[in-house]
Chain A
């Protein structure tokens, strides 16, 4: 009998489906406006700059920088209690869009700093492929 709390995996729909399907294939994508070329995440149906309703999907290079991060010492969702402490970060892709993610390969938090160069990789999280970022080696 499995008593572990339900893990909050993403709920896919017509708008965000392509993003998660691309991740399952190992690719990080974002949306770009056909009309004004603005780039963004998370997925939307209209461009938040010019309101065009024709966004197209584009593959990210995977290069990113660290905007900020936090370390959870308390589980606000019981599904995360067994991994405390864990980090959550805001990262900015080289192409501009920002997203919430996790950092890997940086067990020593004192090595982190804002604007640190990062590289995209994937991690399997309860059957869903999610984007995570690793400090880029110099």
Chain B
């Protein structure tokens, strides 16, 4: 891959509550802003890659959205991987552009679980519901417990993840939750499904976010202001439910990152800034281990030593992540990666050359990795 395709435009709505607005409307606003950011007209978009609203499945959502946007794509549709889908769609759009299946792609996502329904997140899991097995946080708590038992990971280590994200979000005017978190606040936070507390869990947000992708060559001919090259991407799948997974403390992030690093010709040592999917605080810890930033079992210490904060070895979620900027699944991390590579983040990492981005979905079932350069 190595930069043949670029992210040419980014756009987003406000994150938070959008009472009464449909996901079509939120997607349209994000798309309008991404097109303006790239400096291109809508009519040249011939690829439409959509993650459907997580909280409310609709058949043919991609086509209904194409109609609402007045776009007639050559290639388009939705892709279901839960929270991994946005980063995966960037990969598919890049492959489609390289293969001549489309010229300019719009990758977009919107959802409104805060003002609308969030039932999809609370559904029971088959006949296991007789045991009281409900809710997404419980799946992540099951993994967190195993990691804590296996490696001695402490609540203070989970807290370090939340504190770094909340610190970065506090200085981001776009963030939904702009309140720093102290260790005392964290420890006093009520348990939800222990070992996870309220402050281990991401926000619930309405909003939309979109990207414009094209070839680097096309970006030059269109005089795009600040194209950000996609250096590599990869995916991985864990087939097993949490109850069936042979190993609860490694994930598909491992194979996903290996694919992306190989495509880019990079290693973890080359990465200056990371945007790591933080639906729950345990998720970045496992991802950092699987990505090779620390050894298995060492991520808790890595986090609590301050490495994830601005000025640390690997500043993470510099706009606040899902724990602070918005609970929307993943696109905000890609947008912040673009801002870092453009040198435009409110929490800019000086001289950042390479950014790694993770998206993941289900209970660590799906994983997707992007590597961006500048």
- Asked if A16 and B193 sit within 8 Å, CB to CB, the answer is no
- Asked if B146 and A74 sit within 8 Å, CB to CB, the answer is no
Residues of B at the A interface (CB closer than 8 Å) are 122, 124-135, 138, 141-143, 145-146, 149-150, 190-195, 242-244, 248
Question: Pick the contact of B129 from A73, A77, A101 — CB < 8 Å?
Answer: A77
CB contacts under 8 Å to B, within A1-46, are 7-11, 16, 42
A48 to chain B minimum Cβ distance, whole angstroms, is 9
Which chain B residues border A65 with CB–CB below 8 Å?
Answer: none
**Alpha-carbon distance A69/B192, docked complex (angstroms):** 14
**Alpha-carbon distance A74/B126, docked complex (angstroms):** 20
Question: Pick the contact of B193 from A9, A11, A71, A113 — CB < 8 Å?
Answer: A71
**Alpha-carbon distance A8/B127, docked complex (angstroms):** 8
Which chain B residues border A86 with CB–CB below 8 Å?
Answer: 132
Question: Pick the contact of A70 from B124, B130, B138 — CB < 8 Å?
Answer: B138
Q: What is the size, in residues, of chain A's interface with B at 8 Å between Cβ atoms?
A: 33
Question: Pick the contact of B132 from A11, A68, A77 — CB < 8 Å?
Answer: A77
A90 to chain B minimum Cβ distance, whole angstroms, is 5
A86 to chain B minimum Cβ distance, whole angstroms, is 6
Identify which of B125, B134, B191, B195 gathers the most chain A CB atoms within 10 Å of its CB: B134
Q: Is A102 an interface residue (CB 8 A)?
A: yes
- Asked if B142 and A77 sit within 8 Å, CB to CB, the answer is no
B152 to chain A minimum Cβ distance, whole angstroms, is 12
Given the known inter-chain contacts A90-B242, A98-B243, please indicate yes or no for A68 contacting B143, CB distance below 8 A: yes
- Asked if B130 and A99 sit within 8 Å, CB to CB, the answer is no
List 17 other contacts, CB 8 Å, given A70-B141, A80-B132, A102-B132: A8-B124, A8-B130, A68-B142, A68-B145, A72-B193, A73-B190, A73-B191, A76-B135, A76-B138, A77-B124, A85-B194, A98-B243, A100-B131, A102-B131, A114-B150, A125-B130, A128-B130
Which chain A residues border B248 with CB–CB below 8 Å?
Answer: 67-68, 90
A selection of 28 A-B contacts at a CB cut-off of 8 Å is A8-B124, A42-B126, A68-B149, A70-B193, A70-B194, A71-B191, A72-B138, A72-B193, A73-B191, A73-B192, A73-B193, A76-B134, A76-B135, A76-B138, A77-B129, A77-B134, A80-B134, A83-B132, A88-B131, A88-B133, A88-B138, A90-B142, A90-B242, A100-B128, A101-B131, A102-B132, A114-B146, A130-B130
Chain A, Cβ-Cβ closest to B194: A71
**Alpha-carbon distance A81/B243, docked complex (angstroms):** 23
Given the known inter-chain contacts A76-B122, A76-B134, please indicate yes or no for A70 contacting B129, CB distance below 8 A: no
- Asked if B192 and A10 sit within 8 Å, CB to CB, the answer is no
CB contacts under 8 Å to B, within A93-138, are 98-102, 113-114, 125, 128, 130
Which chain A residues border B138 with CB–CB below 8 Å?
Answer: 70, 72, 76, 88
**Alpha-carbon distance A56/B195, docked complex (angstroms):** 38
A116 to chain B minimum Cβ distance, whole angstroms, is 10
**Alpha-carbon distance A80/B124, docked complex (angstroms):** 12
Which chain B residues border A99 with CB–CB below 8 Å?
Answer: 243
Which chain B residues border A7 with CB–CB below 8 Å?
Answer: 130
A82 to chain B minimum Cβ distance, whole angstroms, is 11
**Alpha-carbon distance A128/B130, docked complex (angstroms):** 9
**Alpha-carbon distance A116/B122, docked complex (angstroms):** 30
Nearest 10 CB-CB pairs, A to B?
A76-B134, A76-B135, A10-B127, A100-B128, A8-B129, A68-B146, A70-B141, A73-B191, A114-B149, A71-B194
A53 to chain B minimum Cβ distance, whole angstroms, is 20
**Alpha-carbon distance A83/B149, docked complex (angstroms):** 25
Which chain A residues border B243 with CB–CB below 8 Å?
Answer: 90, 98-100
B195 to chain A minimum Cβ distance, whole angstroms, is 7
Chain B, Cβ-Cβ closest to A113: B149
**Alpha-carbon distance A11/B128, docked complex (angstroms):** 11
**Alpha-carbon distance A66/B126, docked complex (angstroms):** 21
- Asked if A73 and B194 sit within 8 Å, CB to CB, the answer is yes
